Amino acid sequence: MVTFLGATINGLVLGMAYALIAVGYSLVFGILRLINFAHGSIYVFGAYMVYLFVSLQVGLFPSILLAILLAGLLALLVDKITLEPLRKKNSMLISDLITTVGVSFIIQNVLSVEKVFGSERKVFPSLNLFSNITIGHITIQSSQIIMFVVALLLLLVLTFIVNKTKIGLSMRATEQNSRAAKLMGINVNFVISFTFFLGGASAAIAGALICGYYQVISPTMGSLIGLKAFAAAVVGGIGILHGSVVGGLVVGVCECLAAQYLGSNVRDPMAFVILIIILIIKPNGLFGKKGITKV
Amino acid sequence: MLKVTDLNVFYGPIHALKGISLEVNDGEIVTLIGSNGAGKSTTLNTITGLVKAASGSIQLDGTEIANMAPHKIVQLGISLSPEGREVFPALTVEENLRLGAFTRSSKGEIEANYQRAYDLFPRLKERIKQTAGTLSGGEQQMLAIGRALMSSPKILLLDEPSMGLAPNLVLMIFDLIRSINQQGTTILLIEQNANMALSIANRAYVLETGNISLSGDAHELARDDRVRRAYLGG
Ligand SMILES: Nc1ncnc2c1ncn2[C@@H]1O[C@H](COP(=O)(O)OP(=O)(O)O)[C@@H](O)[C@H]1O
Ligand SMILES: [Mg+2]
């Protein structure tokens, strides 16, 4: 029972951080009907920026803030430089897709260049900022509490932005009909940039939280976690914000339970086992609506 | 108010508008009639910046607006109720109207515009919290027009507002268009329903495969033999 509870708590905590990455896929998909495969590399970039500024003695919190800003900007620039020109020419969606895959590789490879950060793992500053909490036989690290609370708060903030603010309303309008959104006076290019920025910033925060928990960082760590978060977004119903949150939690809990009871080799494939099972039962994901197509 | 001169538009190899010119003066209702595929929607979509002009000029009160970004054109005072309504189906009536006022920042002005929309279309007021996708076709048309008015436009462009509506609703919509005009908004109305359009317009243009073939006083055109034969079923 104790191991079950412990694994579940670990899973919920990790799942909340997955959710923070997953919403980035969801937000961009909502507006462009595009899977942004560069998202995992933005997550890595964000984590490396924290690492960089901390090693430059900037201090942990200012470092995280700078990383959020820079990762948001990088995500925005990736869209402006590589995707916007394709949209202007009404290219096939497949061109956009392979472009994001390419960008992902480029970013991860630039980070692993010897003169940049190098390809070997590095020690990441710990987010265990206060003492662990022990309830009965279960110990929760402070970095886990921080990860859970911060991710939850940020997801609430994102939901508030999308549902209650003017820019959020223009995001939802653009998502449903970008032509009509333009007729309302909405600068659709700005909305797209803002969406990429939000996604990139969230990924950087997730990077700081997850790496602050594991205390390691490597340039290639984004591929797997990016795919897991993508799976989480699809499990919940891509394009639907609360779906990403539930999807992240489901993936997190399942993989921690699998690691506990079936061995740690089973951990990483778990996200995709869940994905396949859920899609067979609900092809649009847990909260997905039928027939999402680009207007 | 609005002056289009020698406008050319292409879709790839298709020459959709072949140098058309038209003018809408302050306070007028002007209608552009023509059969399916003549280029009516293309004309409005080019004025609103959704479609690029290859050449020619579009002026609003003397300011050149051809090929400006659509969101800037709305800001300058041109608003379109598009063909097929294009309301945001998953958003509520209120949110759709709020989006219409996206370019407006004065709270008082937005409030007054909500009031005007609800006065014109009381049925929208009863359905404020309903999502637009659940409205009937007629109600969606009212919402599309109400939404277009929310930006306090100088000139309102209407693309086939009667399309797909039952005859009694068509009458009602045309009555409302006349009231909107009487309240001071200039109107450029596009219609396949030439009969109705000519009956409420001051002036009219006839568009045939990308060319303006006839123009003049709406009531005179309604009596013109060529117009009667081609568009009025007699
Ligand atoms: N997006 C488009 N791509 C290619 N051709 C188009 C497009 N929109 C309209 N056309 C063509 O341009 C011509 C004018 O169309 P349109 O302006 O929609 O006519 P109307 O509104 O008078 O029915 C038609 O021949 C139509 O097929
Ligand atoms: Mg048309």
Tell me if A188 and B71 make a contact (CB, 8 A cut-off): yes
Closest partner residue to A179 among B86, B87, B102, by Cβ? B86
Closest partner residue to B151 among A176, A177, A185, by Cβ? A185
| Residue in B closest to A171 by C-alpha | B99
Whether B36 is in the pocket of ligand 1, judged by its Cβ within 6 Å, is yes
For residues B73 and B149, is the Cβ–Cβ distance under 8 A? no
> Is residue B151 very low, low, confident or very high in pLDDT (cuts 50, 70, 90)?
very high
Residues on A contacting B at a C-beta cutoff of 8 Å:
166, 169-170, 172-173, 176-177, 179-188
Task: Please check whether residue A294 lies inside any domain of the structure.
Answer: no
Q: How far apart are CA A41 and CA A74, in angstroms?
A: 10
Tell me if B79 and A173 make a contact (CB, 8 A cut-off): no
Tell me if B90 and A182 make a contact (CB, 8 A cut-off): no
Nearest to A246 by CA among A233, A231, A255: A233
Q: How far apart are CA A48 and CA A123, in angstroms?
A: 11
Q: CA of B156 to nearest chain A CA: how many angstroms apart?
A: 12
Task: Please check whether residue A286 lies inside any domain of the structure.
Answer: no
Mean pLDDT of B138-162: 96
For residues A103 and A82, is the Cβ–Cβ distance under 8 A? yes
Q: How far apart are CA A285 and CA A279, in angstroms?
A: 6
CATH number of residue A69's parent domain: 1.10.3470
Task: Please check whether residue A8 lies inside any domain of the structure.
Answer: yes
Q: Is A10 buried (19+), middle (13-18) or exposed (0-12) by CB count in 10 A?
A: buried
* CA–CA–CA angle B132, B136, B139 (5° rounding): 70
Could you list the beta-strand ranges (E) of chain B: 2-11, 14-24, 29-33, 55-60, 63-64, 78-81, 155-159, 186-191, 203-208, 211-217
Q: How far apart are CA B218 and CA B197, in angstroms?
A: 9
Q: How far apart are CA B57 and CA B41, in angstroms?
A: 17
Whether B16 is in the pocket of ligand 1, judged by its Cβ within 6 Å, is yes
Task: Please check whether residue A293 lies inside any domain of the structure.
Answer: no
Q: What is the pLDDT of residue B142?
A: 95
How far CA A294 is from CA of A133, A279, B43, in Å, comes to: 48, 21, 25
Tokens representing residue B36 in the block: 């399916």
Tens of pLDDT, residue by residue over A161-201, are 999 999 999 999 999 999 999 999 999 999 999 999 999 99
Closest partner residue to A185 among B74, B82, B95, by Cβ? B74
Chain B partners within 8 Å of A181 (Cβ): 99
**Residue B6 region, left (φ>0) first, then alpha (ψ -120 to 50), else beta?**
left
Tens of pLDDT, residue by residue over A80-91, are 999 999 998 888
> Is residue B230 very low, low, confident or very high in pLDDT (cuts 50, 70, 90)?
confident
Tens of pLDDT, residue by residue over B30-71, are 999 999 999 999 999 999 999 999 999 999 999 999 999 999
Nearest to B205 by CA among B196, B214, B193: B214
Q: What is the pLDDT of residue A293?
A: 46
Q: What is the pLDDT of residue A1?
A: 77
Task: Please check whether residue A249 lies inside any domain of the structure.
Answer: yes
Nearest to B96 by CA among B75, B76, B78, B118: B118
Tell me if A182 and B70 make a contact (CB, 8 A cut-off): yes
Task: Please check whether residue A93 lies inside any domain of the structure.
Answer: yes
Task: Please check whether residue A68 lies inside any domain of the structure.
Answer: yes
Whether B42 is in the pocket of ligand 1, judged by its Cβ within 6 Å, is yes
Nearest to B82 by CA among B54, B35, B47, B123: B47
Ligand 1 pocket test target in B8, B10, B14, B192 with most atoms within 8 Å of CB: B14
ipTM: 0.95
Q: Quick one: which ligand is closest to B33's CA?
A: 1
Mean pLDDT of A116-141: 90
Q: Quick one: which ligand is closest to A179's CA?
A: 1
Number of domains in chain A: 1
Nearest to B124 by CA among B151, B86, B97: B97
Q: CA of B88 to nearest chain A CA: how many angstroms apart?
A: 6
Q: What is the pLDDT of residue A290?
A: 67
Q: Is B84 buried (19+), middle (13-18) or exposed (0-12) by CB count in 10 A?
A: middle
Cα torsion angle, A205, A258, A129, A2, sign:
positive
Task: Please check whether residue A265 lies inside any domain of the structure.
Answer: yes
Domain range spanning residue A135? 2-281
